Amino acid sequence: MFALLKRIFEKKQPAKERQPFYDIICPYCFSRFSHEEVVFRAAHHRDDDEALALQEDELLNKYREKFGLAPIDELEAIIEPSYIPDENKLYSDRVLMGVSDKYSVVTRNRLCPACHNDLPLTAGKYPSNILSIVGATSVGKSVYMTSLIHTLQHVTANNFDAACIPLDNEMSKRFRVNYEIPLFENGRLLQSTEKVNRQEPFIFQFVFKDEDQAPLTLVFFDVAGEGMTDKDYIKLHAAHIKNSAGILFLIDPMQIRTIREKLIHQMGENPGKIVGQGGEPREVVISLFGDFIAHLENSKTDIPTAVVLTKSDLLHSLKNDDGDYIQSNSNVFRHVIHRGFLNLDEYENINGEIRRFLAKVDTPFVNAVDVYFRDTSYFAVSALGSNPVDQQVSGIISPVRVDEPFIWLLYKLGYIEGRNE
């Protein structure tokens, strides 16, 4: 009877009512615009018509230059829908999806009006729910991103009757060659993203097999951590945060001053990779505040934010039965798999424990989060399962709870339900 009552009163995030169409957020430059404002790439070119001749796309090349990519010499022309008669516009579910040009050639290649990159097929039909990863330098964003995408593709998607798919083949190859193969097949630790190396965002879609369920667009902007405390840099690279549906805020236990020396001491003669001091977590919060949170109503953001303590395997060095910091039987060291729903019991246990831990070891950070963020939860993950030594991972990579913050964001955005077990 108790189990039945518990299920009746289980918590669910209310599903958001489907609208006829949605604003589009470009997953490349993060501009926001209406579906009627998209532009199109012509499906053909003509040498006898200047308007449809091959030509340089200045906006696209300007975007590519920002990330150190080679310009493209000539492409098919841009077609502005404002110059197309209404009868030559093609709609699907009230969303502008194509146009027919003056030669009756149809194009459905929709582009962002600001940067001329291709838009996802679902843009405008569903909310542009974008997730962002932020954190200070050396916090492990590149490694966490790689481990998370790998886990989403091989484990999580199957548990939620979905698929995690890169936006295009070029992106898939770039992720495999530069991130997944070096880490998961060669066991080689990824280098920190340098501030001068501007990385194009990785864009994946978490697509549910239920066609009535909206896909979730994952935009992983591998931003150099030191840029998160550099005002000009954050304006250039982190506009995506403002238009995010959810934030993964990564912090490294080694950057928490009160436990750093203790961790190094406890790890002994072979401590593996130790990060530099870097920016403290509170400084990243202050950067975000100055960039966009201060301009919001009541100077707070409603964006659901998962505060993620990375490299949780390091906390083995702090555990003891007295529980000064972490107890030996802590939830931190126990891997949990969520299948079909967010297990609220497991989630509430880790959320409460990590919040209490961080409040003890970095009170200014937790206070800053409470002041500037309305909707937060706390998690602990190990992207590798162990601490690398000499830039190499020994043994099999075994991520711990790495997808749990993502699954919580699915729950907060109304994609899945939460249940008590």
Domain identity same for 90 and 139: no
Q: What type of residue is 222?
A: D
Domain identity same for 195 and 330: yes
CA distance 163 to 180: 17
Beta bridge partners of 126: 123
Domain identity same for 83 and 188: no
CATH of residue 174's domain is: 3.40.50.300
Contacts of 234 (CB under 8 A, 6+ apart): 227, 228, 287, 288, 291
Of 285, 193, 303, 284, the C-alpha closest to 240 is 303
Q: Over range 315-331, report the average pLDDT.
A: 78
Residue 51's domain comprises: 37-111
122 in any annotated domain:
no
In this predicted model, what pLDDT tens digit does every residue of 51-104 receive, in sequence order? 999 999 999 999 888 777 899 999 999 999 999 999 999 999 899 999 999 999
Domain identity same for 69 and 207: no
Domain identity same for 77 and 211: no
Of 215, 213, 238, 212, the C-alpha closest to 225 is 238
pLDDT, residue 65, reads 85
Between residues 272 and 371, which one has the greater pLDDT? Answer: 371
- Domains contained in the chain, number: 2
Domain identity same for 156 and 260: yes
In this predicted model, what pLDDT tens digit does every residue of 19-55 receive, in sequence order? 678 899 998 888 899 999 999 999 999 999 999 999 9
